[in-house]
Amino acid sequence: MSEKPESKKKHKAKLSEFRSRIDELDERLIHTLADRQKVVREVFNDKISGQAIIRDAVREEALLKKVREMAMEAGIDPYFTEQLFRDIIYQSVRFQSHSLLDHQNDKLDVRTITVSYQGTRGAYSHQAAMRHFGERYDDVRCIGFKTFEQAAIAVEESETDVAILPIENTTAGSINDTYDVLAENELHIIGEEVLKVNHCLMTVKPVKLDSIRRILSHPQAISQCSRFLAELSGCSIEPYTDTAMAAKKIMEEDDPTQAAIASSYAAELYDLHIIAKDLANQPGNFTRFVIVSRDPIVCDSQLPSKTSLMIATVHEKGALLECLKVLDVHGINMTKLESRPRLGKPWQYLFYVDLEGNKDESNMKKALREIENKAAHFKVLGCYPAQSNEKLQ
């Protein structure tokens, strides 16, 4: 028996009332988080004046224990609540770490920063820049360029303060263009940002997947979504300069048989409809970006750090192995080793190495001196705070 019209109206009105109450509670949550962040700023200022440590692991665990207990008393899933508060704590530590870095490099009072990147508004690099700097500066001015090289040159020529460049992806691997930029330009790595990438297929109208005849995206995005794309038939896959530029072109051409692979943010910016999401071959698809500047930074010893090198070994058997043995002797963990052809030197290679630790630690200093003595070419690309792996789990 069908429901009467009057009953339907009552249910609809009641549902609308529930949704309004939820909206009010959500707004209160946002304002509460904003108030908490204000207190975090005050805590940081107090820690700086008192030279206290940024992260207190004992305090964090005590807080999480209390959160679990309160959740159970309130009838809320304690696991969900703990994960939520882990995110909140992570964000608090992240803010304080960045603030400490700015304080020690005399940038705490700098409120504007210009960032060059490859792509256009809505690109993943643009999102990573806003994620990295948005909370630290009142005004983040992002300037897009066609190539990584142009974005780097903008920093060298003081057109921008820093550049943000993707360097590796958990699905597609290393991004060689960025390694080449680091080799050819006098820039220093001063930070990193890890962004979770959710590739979406978008069109100008909500259409069926089998009606798509052409898909545009950046080659890296195409590579990361290769399994999804392989299942499509009668559809051409074409590389484009940038994911967001591809989305913009789809919007401009207004052809419902064309689609772009880009972020949900790009779809929102260009008023496109998402017809499929989570397209990457791996469910956990992350891109690591490096932030480069004209000058190096001082990185506080209490912050988990990375030291990145660029070396070329002498043309002798076992030369690279001899350099790597130095790390083992001094107990230093290597997290990345990448090789690229050395321009102008046929059959010679540059090796890019990421190490856990601060270059100013005693064991790291000794290791770097020994490697420099063994290498034909040696350069410290940067020592900078390492992005925590907590958000990658």
Q: 212 with 161, same domain?
A: no
Instruction: Indicate whether 388 and 302 sit together in one domain.
Output: yes
**Average pLDDT score over the chain:** 91
CATH code at 83? 1.20.59.10
Count Cα neighbours of 27 within 13 Å in the Cβ-side half-sphere.
6
Contacts of residue 381, Cβ cutoff 8 Å, sequence gap at least 6: 182, 188, 189, 308, 309, 310, 352
pLDDT at 27 over 80: yes
pLDDT-derived band at 3, boundaries 50, 70, 90:
low
Query: How far does Cα 120 stand from its chain's mean position?
Result: 17
Helices (H), the chain: 5-50, 57-74, 78-104, 124-133, 148-156, 176-184, 219-224, 226-230, 243-253, 264-269, 319-329, 362-374
Strand, helix or coil at 345? coil
pLDDT of residue 388: 67
Average pLDDT of the segment spanning 108-114: 90
Predicted pLDDT at 363:
94
pLDDT at 224 exceeding the cut of 70: yes
Question: Is 284 part of any domain?
Answer: no
Which of 177, 195, 213 finishes a domain? 195
C-alpha to C-alpha distance for 239 and 261, rounded to whole angstroms: 10
Domain stop point among 131, 161, 195:
195
Binned at pLDDT 50, 70 and 90, residue 393 comes out as very low
Q: Of 195, 223, 258, which residue constitutes the final position of a domain?
A: 195
166 pairs with which residues across the strands? 289
Q: Is residue 331 a contact partner of residue 375, using CB atoms and an 8 Å limit?
A: no
Query: 355: domain CATH number?
Result: 3.30.70.260
Banded pLDDT at 391 (limits 50, 70, 90)? low
The 3-state DSSP class for residue 215 equals strand
pLDDT for res 2: 58
Instruction: For 134-183, write each residue's pLDDT tens digit.
Output: 988 999 999 999 999 999 999 999 999 999 999 998 887 889 999 999 99
Distance of CA 190 to the CA centre of its chain: 14
Query: In this structure, are 128 and 206 located in the same domain?
Result: no
> Residues 320-338: what's their mean pLDDT?
94
Q: What average pLDDT does the segment 337-345 reach?
A: 84
Question: In which domain, by residue range, is 358 found?
Answer: 296-392
Residues 189 and 206 in one domain: no
Q: Are 219 and 294 in contact (CB under 8 A)?
A: no
Please tell me the least confidently modeled range out of 57-66, 105-114, 338-347.
Answer: 338-347
Whether 260 and 318 map to the same domain: the answer is no
Please name the residue that has the structure tokens 């040696």.
378
Give yes or no: 160 in active site. Answer: no
In a domain, 10, yes or no: no
Residues 207 and 191 in one domain: no
Q: Count the domains in the chain.
A: 4
User: What does the pLDDT read at residue 390?
Assistant: 53
* 159 and 81, same domain (yes or no): no
Residues 264 and 228 in one domain: yes
Assess if residue 287 is contained within a domain. Answer: no
The angle subtended at Cα 81 by Cα 76 and Cα 84, nearest 5°, is 150
For this structure, is 289 an active site residue? yes
Of 81, 289, 313, 351, the active-site residue reads: 289
Residue 348 lies in a domain: yes
> What is the model's pTM?
0.85
Look at residue 290 and tell me if it is in a domain.
no
For residue 251, the domain's CATH number is: 3.40.190.10
User: Of 102, 34, 59, 57, which is closest to residue 390 (Cα–Cα)?
Assistant: 57
| Spatial contact of 99 and 44, defined as CB atoms under 8 Å apart | yes
| Tens digit of each residue's pLDDT (9 = 90 or more) over 306-317 | 999 999 987 778
d(CA 244, CA 249): 9
Average pLDDT of 39-61?
A: 84
Q: How far apart are CA 286 and CA 195, in angstroms?
A: 6
Q: What are the angstrom distances between the C-alpha of 363 and each of 96, 326, 389? A: 27, 10, 24
What mean pLDDT do residues 54-81 have?
92
**Which tens digits make up the pLDDT trace of 260-300?**
999 999 999 999 999 999 999 988 889 999 999 999 999 98
- Residues 352 and 334: beta-carbon distance below 8 Å: no
Contact 124, 243 (CB under 8 A): yes
What is the rounded CA–CA span in Å between residue 189 and residue 165? 10
Indicate whether 208 and 176 sit together in one domain.
no
Whether 204 and 191 map to the same domain: the answer is no
| pLDDT digits 0-9 by tens, 77-110 | 999 999 999 999 988 988 888 888 888 898 888 8
Q: Which of 204, 198, 332 is nearest to 259 (CA)?
A: 204
pLDDT > 90? residue 381 = yes
Q: What is the pLDDT of residues 248-266, one digit of tens each?
A: 999 999 999 999 999 999 9
Catalytic residue of the set 170, 203, 241, 287: 287
Which amino acid, residue 370? E
CA separation for the pair 68, 337 (Å, rounded): 41
Whether 336 and 356 map to the same domain: the answer is: yes
Domain assignment present for residue 372? The answer is yes
- Same domain for 238 and 170: no
Residue 243 lies in a domain: yes
Residue 147 φ then ψ, to 5° = -130, 160
**Residue 34's pLDDT band (cuts 50, 70, 90):** very high
Give me the percent of the chain exceeding a pLDDT of 90.
70
Would you say residue 338 lies in a domain? yes
Structure confidence at residue 389 as a pLDDT band (50, 70, 90)? low
